[in-house]
Amino acid sequence: MANKAYKFRLYPTPQQEQLLAKTFGCVRFIYNKMVAERKETYEQFKDDPDALKKQKLPTPAKYKSEHPWLKEVDSLALANAQLHLQKAYQNFFSRRAEFPKFKSRKAKQSYTTNVVNGNILLLDGCIKLPKLKLVKMKQHREIPSHHIIKSCTVSRTKTGKYYISILTEYEHQPVPKEVQAVVGLDFSMNSLFVESEEEKTANYPHFYRQALEKLAKEQRILSRRKKGSNRWHKQRLNVAKLHERIANQRKDFLHKESHRLAKRYDCVVIEDLNMKGMSQALHFGKSVADNAWGMFTTFLQYKLEEQGKRLIRIDKWFPSSKTCSSCGQVKESLSLSDRTFHCECGFVADRDWNASINIKREGLRLLA
């Protein structure tokens, strides 16, 4: 069985917006209450890990008697808040994450509800949700009939837009495709990546860099407004809209590029890079964030896997940039300012293109 999510825009009525705001608040309230109780338990049993793991989390039902207004919202949304917290503690105990923190009002507003006895139904241009009943929805693509809806996550953006992510489950056993067309991708700060098959860049438009001047102007105006005033809220919305537009443009470009590569090649080879470390060590924070290499590789991986194709990650310490793709000689040193690769054998090529060829060859070696 496989899972796939479909995201659509929601258009709730003013009454439905009020109920959504209540649900977001109640989910956050329950989560914070349980975090506070768990924190007390942790302080009490932190010297005895086995006893701490045996302590059970409180359930949302415990708080409904003290706070009757919790009954006004979807009970499954509150139950999912407990499950999310439980997962956060499991990550903490396995040392994959820090101790769970309290949720702020400024954090992302969302809640998840599950399908129980047909409480969620897709209708013509609408979706039926618990407590909300029929909510108008812009369904820009059809969900296949063999996909079974398992849960829905409703979220609200900083600009006041509502979205629903519908998680579906379906039988999917992709037939592994015979690897014929292989490409190596070398990460490039200026152009996102360089392909081994073509000595040209992806022509990546730096959306954040393009909007930087306008964004700086809007943020300067916001800094002059009195916090909490009507003019401050209006200007905050302008800044949020600009950030949202940049994020949407970037995501759209990455989806299209990953789709093109997944359709054209049977296997894609990339380096397993530590982008956070790169941005901190080389002071490329804005450029790394604008490229969103991690998001791009995530899109590429699931698009390839759906078709039975492969994404291979090679070791980040593999000397792809220092190795000559013609004779195989490895240079002792190569500075970032050297954008053209020169080898003693006479081979001259663009540095990134040379690296992408080496990445492809290393991927083929791992495949063999």
Catalytic residue, candidates 74, 290, 352, 362: 352
Task: Give pLDDT, residue 114.
Answer: 95
Active site residue 352: yes
Task: Give pLDDT, residue 352.
Answer: 87
In angstroms, the Cα distances linking 338 to 151, 173, 191, 322, 348 are 51, 46, 16, 11, 12
Task: Give pLDDT, residue 216.
Answer: 95
- Of the candidates 155, 191, 178, the one whose C-alpha atom is nearest the C-alpha of residue 23 is 155
**Interatomic CA distance for residues 334 and 319, integer angstroms:** 10
Structure confidence at residue 336 as a pLDDT band (50, 70, 90) = confident
Task: Give pLDDT, residue 107.
Answer: 85
Instruction: Give me the DSSP letters along 315-345.
Output: -TTS-TTTB-TTT--B-S---TT--EEE-TT
Q: What is the sign, positive or negative, of the torsion defined by CA atoms of 35, 40, 44, 46?
A: positive
Residue 123 has pLDDT above 70, yes or no: yes
Task: Give pLDDT, residue 185.
Answer: 92
Active site residue 124: no
Range from 178-187, 257-266, 276-285 carrying the lowest mean pLDDT: 276-285
**Is residue 131 exposed (0-12), middle (13-18) or buried (19+ Cβ within 10 Å)?**
middle
330 near 323, Cβ under 8 Å?
Answer: yes
Task: Give pLDDT, residue 281.
Answer: 66
318 near 361, Cβ under 8 Å?
Answer: no
Instruction: Give me the DSSP letters along 184-218.
Output: EEEEETTTEEEESSSSSB-----HHHHHHHHHHHH
Structure confidence at residue 11 as a pLDDT band (50, 70, 90) = very high
Residue 24 has pLDDT above 80, yes or no: yes
Task: Give pLDDT, residue 276.
Answer: 78
Mean pLDDT value across residues 212-229: 95
Task: Give pLDDT, residue 362.
Answer: 92
Angle at 294 between CA 291 and CA 299, to 5 degrees: 100
Task: Give pLDDT, residue 282.
Answer: 65
Mean pLDDT value across residues 230-247: 95
**Interatomic CA distance for residues 259 and 245, integer angstroms:** 21
Walk across the sheet containing 109-114 and list its strands: 109-114, 148-156, 162-170, 2-11, 133-138, 126-129, 121-123
Q: What does the block give as tokens for 67?
A: 């706070």
Catalytic residue, candidates 195, 271, 290, 362: 271
Q: What does the block give as tokens for 128?
A: 């039926």
The type of residue at 335 is S
Residue 199 has pLDDT above 70, yes or no: no
Residue 286 has pLDDT above 80, yes or no: no
Residue 265 has pLDDT above 70, yes or no: yes
Task: Give pLDDT, residue 93.
Answer: 81
Residue 338 has pLDDT above 90, yes or no: no
Helix (H, G, I), strand (E, B) or coil at 152: strand
Residue 214 has pLDDT above 80, yes or no: yes
Residue 284 has pLDDT above 80, yes or no: no
Active site residue 271: yes
| 79-92 pLDDT, tens digit each | 999 999 989 888 88
- In the chain, pLDDT over 90 holds for what percent of residues? 56
Catalytic residue, candidates 74, 186, 257, 362: 186
In angstroms, the Cα distances linking 187 to 19, 98, 231, 241, 277 are 45, 30, 43, 29, 15
What is the average pLDDT score of the chain? 89
Backbone φ/ψ region at 279: left (φ over 0), alpha (ψ -120 to 50), beta: alpha
